Structure 1
């Protein structure tokens, strides 16, 4: 059996250790020849492994925030590893933690934490150490802080909330007579009123009133469904070993309303997410249901756009959302200094998250949201209230962003939206599939 030692919380073989010692010896000789400082000083920076699943514009923003933190903290250097979004990322993170080779820090959607914390794959945060770095519970919106906890311990620190919202073209809305005196979109409060508003916009665009691409993307269908379902004041409870508890009538009504939108006048009968976004950017529709993370696309297109939370059509304000959150993967041998470095890095990123808001996300760190600089961000500040009405996924080991559960939703619901199946049949099929999962053990 190979012998192992640990360096800075990482497991290495004895052969690697000896090779590393030889290399260090060579570096020491070089340092004696070249003097202090320079490369030798840089090599003293402690390395912090950081896994995340942020790509595109989000990935560019995160890389800039990492670079800023590294520059401000010469004692450590954060090395990011970017992995594919969805099940591959969460599978690899679980395997790394279970195998004793995890990074010091990782990003996880808040909705996925309930599947990982009970199995000991991530560790709770030390609130005293957070406070030393200027981060406290009162710095977060109550709903977000509540979501960070499992069994009374804090297992995640949210960077943001990223809600499912409604963009609208202000030129189209103005020509349709749908703007208030202050230039904001008129409020609607019933499904029929919303469809009437969409039809008025369609008269202007001659295309569609609303864009919403959903084909073969369960997450997109789920985001709109769950927003509407939660607007009924309804809950979904997923208890292991018990059937799913849900309001069937509210679910069916939500699905029937969604299907009624895809009539090739209000919205295209079918289309994927890229088609929907492109249609809206071209000005061929007046509204778009999508995530706030599409803000850079809107800005790049120089579209006359504003944004709001999806109108409350069933009485209870609600917006599907999740949070990119920092978690501490379980370490086989924890290194105290590396752990303190990770806390400092997280605090620096939170305090610098105004740049993250530019990408369309709502910073979780309230001092940023309450700043004048954030209030001047348009249209981001116009949907900041979404943080107060967040509808996180119902908790289960199999639910959450990037989960197969959302893919299963599409398997039963896509044909409902295409008009090929009844809403009741689609929902009942999804419930049966969910019940099967509820009677299986958590694999992690």
Structure 2
């Protein structure tokens, strides 16, 4: 870490990066043995149960260490505490971080890079990961994260409704907004309510996931560089927002549905398609409904999908135990090698020997969308974007009325860009 950065400066920066919330509680102490690993993550519910099982399995392998999990609340509470612990040099040995947050944490020394030679010693190499995912885990030429998965936004559909509507083949081959709308209309006639379920009300993340998928499908990019104006394609944004607005007409899809309403509607057979994250899969499968899943179809010419990745990071510590650090490399490698269990929750394994295994390929519908990491799109790289930040809320503040049908797409996007430019004009906290 740069000698010019004071501890006080880092603490202030960490608080700014986290977006909101205060540090509560203490970071791990320095008196632990070299075989006692501290592992922080924000995985709860079904994901938390699976991760606990993976850690238990690694501990049971008697590899010379024992990992202890600390589970913290998702979002700002987690990222605030992790940033503050790293700034103070009293962080856990290893932690989970969304790939979309690396650009905010790596520049100022809040994370430490992974050693490629040590990774090779535990059997992990660049070739074991999708190129775009590996690239996202880097900053300034150094590897700051090891990806566990890719978790994209996908299209689910009710197989029985699709068969009755005669659109099963068309779902797999559609290539235009018009075809998508036509299929949704046919499904609506079968369900009698909606053709598509999509919940977004009050949820900037849901709005952004769908918008950014279709925006990138037009071939447009979005580059955010501190000190410069946001580089965006307004025409592509207006085209995307206009299409989304056309779907939310209370016939194809509810004009004002939230996440819970959309999920419930699809579960009860009141729609034929459902736009949601792969993390929704366990709920759908538990309901024993006839469901399949696909990548969101390429409707605007360029293959693109929004996603994020859970990654393992090395938070900054004021004093690193070389023995404990080597154990961390082993622990991460062992979790990755067992990550077909993680895929049961809908996530795409980042570790390619697992992703290409017969066991994973047999998982349905998970393996249907296994190709997404080849063309995945993450949030733009800048300090204020990423999971659990306010970036997607800024999007919602300006475009929710567009989704509701009462706002102008051009004006809504202009408002979002104006907000981005104010943030880009501020000095980067670290």
TM-score calculated relative to the size of structure 1: 0.89
* Residue number in structure 1 paired with 2:352: 366
* Residue number in structure 2 paired with 1:162: 151
Which of 241, 248, 261 matches 2:227?
Answer: 241
Gaps of 5+ in 2: 1-26
Q: Say whether residues 1:175 and 2:177 are aligned partners.
A: no
* Residue number in structure 2 paired with 1:377: 363
1:82–1:377 distance in 2 versus 1, CA, 3 Å: same
* Residue number in structure 2 paired with 1:229: 215
What pairs up with 1:107-186 in 2 under 5 angstroms?
107-180=96-169, 185-186=171-172
* Residue number in structure 2 paired with 1:34: none
Alpha-carbon distance in structure 1 between the residues aligned to 2:321 and 2:151: 33
CA RMSD for the aligned pairs?
Answer: 1.5
Shift of 1:100: 1.7
* Residue number in structure 1 paired with 2:338: 352
Alpha-carbon distance in structure 1 between the residues aligned to 2:391 and 2:134: 25
Gaps of 5+ in 1: 1-8, 21-43
| 3-state secondary structure, aligned to 1:414 | helix
Which of 309, 312, 329 matches 1:343?
Answer: 329
Judge conservation of contact 2:171–2:183 (CA < 8 Å) in 1: no
Alpha-carbon distance in structure 1 between the residues aligned to 2:191 and 2:121: 55
Alpha-carbon distance in structure 2 between the residues aligned to 1:367 and 1:335: 30
Judge conservation of contact 1:45–1:74 (CA < 8 Å) in 2: no
Judge conservation of contact 1:212–1:276 (CA < 8 Å) in 2: yes
Shift of 1:45: 7.8
Judge conservation of contact 1:353–1:363 (CA < 8 Å) in 2: yes
| 3-state secondary structure, aligned to 2:275 | strand
Q: Say whether residues 1:293 and 2:282 are aligned partners.
A: no
Alpha-carbon distance in structure 2 between the residues aligned to 1:365 and 1:99: 32
| 3-state secondary structure, aligned to 1:92 | helix
Alpha-carbon distance in structure 2 between the residues aligned to 1:52 and 1:440: 30
| 3-state secondary structure, aligned to 1:199 | helix
Judge conservation of contact 2:152–2:306 (CA < 8 Å) in 1: yes
* Residue number in structure 2 paired with 1:58: 47
| 3-state secondary structure, aligned to 2:255 | coil
Q: Say whether residues 1:262 and 2:262 are aligned partners.
A: no
What pairs up with 1:44-55 in 2 under 5 angstroms?
46-55=35-44
Shift of 1:46: 2.0
Judge conservation of contact 2:111–2:313 (CA < 8 Å) in 1: yes
Q: Say whether residues 1:427 and 2:413 are aligned partners.
A: yes
* Residue number in structure 1 paired with 2:95: 106
Over residues 116-156 of structure 1, what are the superposed CA-to-partner deviations in whole Å (9 max), with x where a residue is unaligned?
11100000001111111011110011111111111111000
Over residues 298-349 of structure 1, what are the superposed CA-to-partner deviations in whole Å (9 max), with x where a residue is unaligned?
1100111110011111000100001100000011000011101111100000
Alpha-carbon distance in structure 1 between the residues aligned to 2:292 and 2:186: 18
* Residue number in structure 1 paired with 2:375: 389
Judge conservation of contact 2:145–2:312 (CA < 8 Å) in 1: yes
Judge conservation of contact 1:111–1:322 (CA < 8 Å) in 2: yes
| Greater alpha carbon shift after TM alignment, 326-335 vs 76-85 | 76-85
Shift of 1:73: 2.8
What pairs up with 1:49-88 in 2 under 5 angstroms?
49-73=38-62, 75-88=64-77
| 3-state secondary structure, aligned to 2:314 | strand
| 3-state secondary structure, aligned to 2:370 | helix
* Residue number in structure 2 paired with 1:320: 306
Over residues 200-257 of structure 1, what are the superposed CA-to-partner deviations in whole Å (9 max), with x where a residue is unaligned?
0011111100000001100000000000000011110101111100000000110111
Judge conservation of contact 1:413–1:426 (CA < 8 Å) in 2: yes
| 3-state secondary structure, aligned to 2:173 | coil
| 3-state secondary structure, aligned to 1:119 | coil
* Residue number in structure 1 paired with 2:397: 411
Judge conservation of contact 2:37–2:67 (CA < 8 Å) in 1: yes
Judge conservation of contact 2:226–2:428 (CA < 8 Å) in 1: no
